[in-house]
Structure 1
Amino acid sequence: MTELKADVLVLGAGMVGVGAALHLQKRGRDVILVDRQDLAGQGTSFGNAGMIECASVFPYMFPRNFGEILRYARNRAPQVRYSLGDLPAFLPWLVRYYLASSPERAFKSAMAELPLIRRSLIEHEELIAEAGVPELLRRTGWIKLYRSEATLAKAMREFDRAKQYGVAGEVLDDAAIKLREPHLGGEFKGAIHFTEPGFVPDPGGLAKAYAALFRRKGGSFLAGDARTLEQSTGGWRVSVDQGAVTAREAVVALGPWSDLVFDRLGYSIPLSVKRGYHLHLAARGNAVLNHPVLDADQGFVLAPMNSGIRLTTGVEFARRDAPPTPIQLQRALPRAHALFPLGDALDARPWMGARPCLPDMLPVIGRAPRHAGLWFDFGHQHHGLTLGAATGRLLAEIMTGETPFADPAPFAVERFG
Structure 2
Amino acid sequence: MQYLCLLHFLTVATPTPIPDERHDPYAVLRIPEFRLFVSARFCITLAMQIQAVVVGWQIYDITKDPFSLGLIGLVEAIPSITVALYAGHVADIVPRKRIIMTVLSVLLFCSLALLFYTLDVGKVLHAFGTLPIYSVIFLSGIARGFMGPAVFSFMPQLVSDRKLYANAITWSSTTWQAGSVAGPAIGGLVYAFGGVTAAFGVDASLVLLSLLLYTFIAGRPLPPSEGPKLKIKESLQTGLRFVFGNQIILSALALDMFAVLFGGAVILLPVFASDILKIGPEGLGLLRSAPAIGSVTMALFMAYRPITFNAGKKMLWAVAGFGACIIVFGLSKLFWLSFGMLLLSGVLDSISVIIRSTLIHTLTPEHMKGRVSSVNNIFVGSSNEIGSFESGLAAKLMGVVPSVVFGGTMTILIVAFTAWKADKLRKLSL
Scaled to the shorter chain, the TM-score interval is under 0.3
After TM superposition, the score normalised by the length of structure 2 is 0.23
Higher strand share: 1
Higher helix share: 2
After TM superposition, the score normalised by the length of structure 1 is 0.23
